[in-house]
């Protein structure tokens, strides 16, 4: 019988598992026989200690296996009064309070707050100064921002966003409709001479 390279790896793996398994098995069987006396002494220590209880509540021993019904324990539980804000815990609906309608009582009306006046939206700073209409191409508009000398000129078609904020909604011959994307403010900007 030859042991090849694959069998050597399997043999090493089996030896490692055996080295781990043998102490675990010994611990398992040796630990259960030695702990019997410790386990037997633990309940004896528990029965000698008397747990703290509330006054008026009888204690039942946990180790008692007496099947008889002790009615005195039920009598003690009947004497306990439930006090949790006066609400019935066995109903889903809240009780409707009875309102005493006294005709002499005058109800004071609370003033209705007026809604705040909306602030006017800032005007769109673009100026429409031209239109390009080539055949077989979409219309394009020329928009400027700022003054004529140092301002920026944008060329856009319908649906484009200009200056990362303003969308060209509609292009007409005499005006263009621009929407501020941040505030959803639409304004109609007329054709102006540059």
Residue 112 — pLDDT band, cuts 50, 70, 90?
confident
CB atoms closer than 10 angstroms to residue 79: 8
Q: Over pLDDT 90: what percentage of the chain?
A: 22
Distance separating alpha carbons of residues 47 and 62, to the nearest angstrom:
9
For the range 67-73, what are the long-range contacts, defined as Cβ-Cβ under 8 Å and sequence gap of 24 or more?
A: none
Beta bridge partners, 140, equal 132, 157
Question: For the whole prediction, is pTM greater than 0.75?
Answer: no
Residue 104 — pLDDT band, cuts 50, 70, 90?
low
Q: Over pLDDT 70: what percentage of the chain?
A: 68
Beta bridge partners, 144, equal 127, 153
- pLDDT at position 18: 92
Residue 170 — pLDDT band, cuts 50, 70, 90?
very high
What value does the mean pLDDT take over residues 152-163?
Answer: 91
Q: Are 120 and 107 in contact (CB under 8 A)?
A: no
Q: Which pLDDT tens digit goes with each residue over 53-98?
A: 555 545 555 556 778 888 888 888 888 876 766 677 777 777 676 7
């Amino acid at each position: 019988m030859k042991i090849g390279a694959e069998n050597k790896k399997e043999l090493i793996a089996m030896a490692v598992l055996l080295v781990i398994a043998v102490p675990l098995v010994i611990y398992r069987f040796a630990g259960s026989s030695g702990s019997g006396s410790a386990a037997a002494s633990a309940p004896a220590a528990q029965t000698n200690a008397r747990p703290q209880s509330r006054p008026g509540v009888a204690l039942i021993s946990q180790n008692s296996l007496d099947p008889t019904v002790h009615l005195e324990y039920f009598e003690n539980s009947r004497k306990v009064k439930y006090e949790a804000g006066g609400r019935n815990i066995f109903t889903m609906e809240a009780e409707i309070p009875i309102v005493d309608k006294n005709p002499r009582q005058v109800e004071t009306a609370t003033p209705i707050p007026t809604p705040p006046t909306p602030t006017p939206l800032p005007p769109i700073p673009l100026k429409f100064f031209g239109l390009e209409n080539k055949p077989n191409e979409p219309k394009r508009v020329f928009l400027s921002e700022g003054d004529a000398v140092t301002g920026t000129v944008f060329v856009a078609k319908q649906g484009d966003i200009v200056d990362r904020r303003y969308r060209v909604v509609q292009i007409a011959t005499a005006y263009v409709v621009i929407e501020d994307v941040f505030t959803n403010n639409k304004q109609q900007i007329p054709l102006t001479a540059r």
